[in-house]
């Protein structure tokens, strides 16, 4: 029979303790927890958080403090769950939320959330109206809207604005954190816009309100004066070709071209503006005197009214065998 000495046994036990300590450092000393992750307040008014993905400590409780920034703590909780019911807080009030994980009396790092209490799950998110103003000097469209029900306020909301015009097949979505939006470089005057606005409650779960659709037409604007691009003069008349402002610049329907030659002639041309492109206007004036100067003015009428007149003077040719007689 082998008899071990007391000294030998103590040495073996000490060695085993060293090995156990090296292989289990967390169990051998006070364990300091990681800070929790993803602290949020849901639309159900539940404050919740997640345990750190690398947490190895045995979390025994969480300390939750709620207060206004710069003021003393107003609410303190000690819980062993990863959530706290905060339905006693008023919607849209801004609070500081602090959550600390605790492992057997050892506190971890704090996680702070600075947030407004979101609108409740049953809040009315419908839009009451959508108004607009058009600035023709900058070609920008300014939109503004409001909620139908403001009893909870409008914090933690984002707005999705959907824009579609009748000249394009493209549908555009833009987002705004306030109840207004400015659209730059919008389509030309007389373009109709279908504008839809909906409110989105950004709390979890994300909830979208109903879409408010309204039709707006950019305020009609008169055409600029027509531009003379071609003159063919004869002995007893002339042909004039005029170019109009394109639909890309002014979509208001052109209805009539008018050439005012005073007591000598007046020419009215009804214009068909159904095509995608605007063609030139050709005007033939005849039965005039040869070798004479005629002054006249050209103007256009669209859905906004008559344009400013464009003055021009044209000289007829002298009679000769080489000059065409209209």
- Please tell me the distance from the alpha carbon of residue 174 to that of residue 96, in angstroms, as a whole number: 31
What number of CA atoms fall less than 13 Å from residue 314's CA on the CB side?
A: 30
> Could you tell me the sign of the dihedral formed by the alpha carbons of 153, 154, 156, 157, in that order?
positive
Structure tokens at 107: 């506190």
pLDDT tens column, 131-151: 988 887 787 889 999 999 988
Give the fold, CATH level 3, of 127-217.
Immunoglobulin-like (2.60.40)
- Domain 31-116: which CATH number of 3.90.1140.10, 3.90.1150.10, 3.40.50.720, 2.60.40.10: 2.60.40.10
Place of tokens 């070798």: 291
DSSP code per residue over 8-69: HHHHHHHHHHHHHHHH-HHHHS---PPPPEEEEE-TTSEEEEE--TT--S---EEEEEEE-T
289 sits in which H/E element? none
pLDDT in tens, 159-198: 999 988 876 666 789 999 999 999 876 778 888 888 999 9
Cis previous bond, 98, omega within 30: no
Higher per-residue pLDDT: 190 or 261: 261
Count the helices and strands in the chain (H runs, E runs): 2, 23
pLDDT of 224 strictly over 80: yes
CATH architecture of 227-315: Sandwich (2.60)
Domain coordinates in residue numbering, the chain: 31-116, 127-217, 227-315
Q: What is the pLDDT of residues 26-66, one digit of tens each?
A: 443 589 999 999 999 999 999 999 999 999 999 999 999 99
Is residue 17 over pLDDT 90? no
Phi and psi at 19, nearest 5°, equal -65, -40
The answer to whether residues 112 and 38 touch, using CB atoms and an 8 Å cutoff, is: no
Asked if residue 19 has pLDDT above 50, the reply is no
pTM above 0.85, yes or no: no
For the chain, what is the mean pLDDT? Answer: 87
CB-CB contact of 301 with 219 (8 Å) = no
Residues with Cβ < 8 Å from 46, sequence gap 6 or more?
83, 84, 85, 86, 87
Six-digit token pair at 307? 């344009």
Residue 208 has pLDDT above 90, yes or no: yes
Domains 127-217 and 227-315 share a fold: yes
């Amino acid at each position: 029979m082998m008899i071990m000495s007391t000294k030998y046994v103590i040495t073996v036990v000490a060695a085993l303790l060293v090995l156990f300590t090296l292989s289990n450092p967390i169990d051998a000393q006070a364990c300091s927890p990681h800070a929790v992750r993803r602290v949020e307040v849901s639309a159900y008014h539940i404050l919740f958080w997640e345990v750190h993905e690398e947490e190895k400590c045995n979390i025994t409780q969480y300390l939750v403090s709620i207060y206004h920034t710069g003021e003393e703590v107003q609410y303190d909780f000690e819980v062993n769950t990863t959530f706290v019911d905060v339905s006693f807080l008023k919607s849209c009030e801004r609070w500081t939320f602090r959550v600390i994980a605790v492992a057997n009396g050892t506190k971890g790092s704090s996680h702070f959330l600075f947030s407004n209490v979101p609108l409740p799950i049953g809040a009315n998110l419908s839009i009451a109206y959508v108004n607009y103003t058009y600035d023709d000097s900058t070609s920008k469209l300014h939109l503004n809207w409001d909620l139908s029900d403001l009893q909870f306020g409008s914090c933690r909301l984002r707005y999705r604005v959907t824009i579609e015009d009748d000249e394009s097949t493209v549908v555009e979505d833009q987002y705004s954190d306030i109840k207004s939006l400015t659209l730059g470089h919008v389509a030309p005057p007389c373009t109709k816009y279908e504008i839809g606005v909906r409110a989105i409650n950004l709390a979890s779960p994300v909830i979208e309100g109903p879409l408010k659709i309204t039709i707006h037409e950019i305020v009609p604007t008169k055409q600029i004066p027509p531009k003379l691009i071609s003159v063919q003069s004869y002995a007893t008349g002339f042909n004039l070709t005029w170019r109009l402002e394109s639909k890309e610049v002014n979509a208001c329907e052109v209805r009539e071209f008018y050439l005012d030659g005073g007591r000598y002639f007046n020419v009215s041309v009804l214009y068909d503006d159904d095509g995608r492109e605007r063609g030139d206007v050709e005007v033939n004036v005849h039965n005039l005197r040869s070798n004479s100067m005629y002054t006249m003015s050209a103007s256009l009428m669209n859905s906004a009214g008559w344009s400013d007149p464009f003055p021009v003077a044209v000289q007829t040719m002298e009679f000769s065998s080489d000059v065409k007689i209209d």
